[in-house]
Structure 1
Amino acid sequence: MYKPIEDNALSAYEINRSRIVRSLELIQDVIVISLCIGLFSFMAIQVRDMFLSLLPPLDFHVVTADILFLLILVELFRLLIIYLQEQRISIGVAVEVSIVSVLREIIVKGVLEISWSQVLATCAFLLVLSVLLVVRVWLPPTFEGIDPEQNISQRYKNRIVRD
C-alpha cells in the first residue's frame, strides 16, 4: 500500500528541484539583463533626440517631456538593477516611477486641457501613491541586502533621537 520514499530518492528530488530553480533564475536574469541593455540603448537614443529638440525653434513642452521621459527611463533602469541584485521589485522605486510618469503626462498635456474628472482621479491616484511611499518607509524589509528606503528611515530615526 503506502511505501515510504527512500532518503536517496528524496535527496535526488531536492537536488533536481534546486537545479531547475537555479536554471530558471539564470534564464530570468538573462532576460532582465537584456532588458537593461535594451533600455540603456533606448536611453542613448532619447538623449540624442533630446539634444536635437534643443535646436531652434525651441519647443518648451517637447524639451520638458523629453527630460521627464529620460528621468522615467533612468528610474526604470534603477528598478531593473535592484531586481538583479535583490531578485525583487522595489516598491519605493516602482512608486517613484509611477509618480514621475503621471506628472509627466500632466505637464505634457497641460492641466487646463484635461477634464476636471481626470484631474480629480489623477490627484487621488497621486495621493494613494504618496501614502504608499510614506508607509513603505516604516514597513520592515522582507529581504536582506539593498533597501532603498533604509537610508531615509535611518535618517528619520536619527532625527527623532536627536530631538
Structure 2
Amino acid sequence: MQKRFKSRFLFCDRWLDRHAIVRNMEAFQDLIVIILCLGLFAVMLLQLWGILIALTQPLDYKAVTAKILFVLILVELFRLLMVYLQEHSIAVGVAVEVTIVSVLREIVVHGALEISGIHTAAICGLLLILGGLLIVCAKTPHMDCISANTKLCPIVHKGSQERHNELEFQYSRHYDEHQPLG
C-alpha cells in the first residue's frame, strides 16, 4: 500500500507553508514561555522580599515555612519551563516533584492535625502514587534527557550495547545517590 503524498503547503496554490506555520507557532510558544519565566522570577523576588520582612517581625513559623516552600515550588516551576524551552517537552520528573512539594506545602499551611481523616487518606494515596511515578521517572533515563547532556542520553546517541548499559547504570546510580554524573 502506497503512502499518500502530503503537500508542504496547506492549499494547492501555495498560500500557506506548513513548515513556516509550525516554525512561527513554536517561536510564539517560546515567547509565551519566556514571559512566564520572567513573571515567575518577579514573583520569586516578591516572595523573597516577603520572607525577609516576615523575619524582621515576630516569627510565625508556619507562615515563614509556607512562604519558603512556595518559593521552592516557584523555583521548580521555573526549572520546568527552562527544560521546556530546551527540549520542547515537559519533564515528567520535575512536574511530579513540583506536585509533591505543593501537596506538602498545603499540609504545612493547613496543619496536619486540622485535616480530616478522609482528606488525610486521600493525600497519602496521592503521595504514594506520585512517589511511584517519581521512581518510574528516575529509573527511566530517557524521560528527562536534557539537550545539554545529549552525550549522556542513550536515546539520542545510540552506540554500542555496552555504552547503553553503562549509561543506564550511571543514571540509576545518579538517582539513587543524588550525586551529579561525572
Question: What residue identity is the alignment partner of 2:172?
Answer: Y
CA shift, 1:10, in A, is 3.6
Of the structure 1 ranges 42-51 and 14-23, higher mean CA displacement relative to structure 2 is found in 14-23
- Residues 15-34 of structure 1 correspond to what in structure 2 (within 5 A)? 16-34=17-35
Runs (4+) of structure 1 exceeding 4 A deviation are: 11-15, 150-153
Give the aligned CA root-mean-square deviation in angstroms: 2.9
Taking only the aligned residue pairs, the percentage that are identical comes to 48
| 1:156 aligns to 2:157 (yes or no) | no
Q: Equivalent residue for 1:145?
A: 147
Partner of 1:102: 103
* SS of equivalent to 1:54: helix
Q: What's the counterpart of residue 70 of structure 1?
A: 71
Instruction: Output the amino acid matched with 1:17.
Output: R
**Residue aligned with 2:142, SS:** coil
Distance 1:152 1:94, change over 3 A: farther
The one-letter code of the counterpart of 1:154 is Q
In 2, Cα distance between equivalents of 1:55 and 1:140: 44
CA distance in 2, matches of 1:42, 1:135: 32
Q: 1:94 to 1:48 in 2, by over 3 A?
A: same
Higher relative contact order, structure no. (Cα contacts within 8 Å, ≥ 6 residues apart): 1
Contact 1:79–1:94, Cα closer than 8 Å, also in 2: yes
Q: Which structure has more helix as a fraction of its residues?
A: 1
Letter in 2 for 1:23: N
TM-score, scaled relative to structure 1: 0.82
Q: CA separation of 1:108/1:11 partners in 2, compared to 1, >3 Å: closer, same or farther?
A: closer
Alignment pair present for 1:46 and 2:47 = yes
State the Cα distance separating 1:26 from its structure 2 match: 0.2
Gaps of 5+ in 2: 154-166, 177-182
Instruction: Measure, in 1, the Cα distance between the counterparts of 2:146 and 2:83.
Output: 12
Which amino acid is 1:54 matched to? L
Alpha-carbon displacement from aligned partner over 1:30-60 (angstroms, at most 9, x marks no partner): 0000000011011101100111011221101
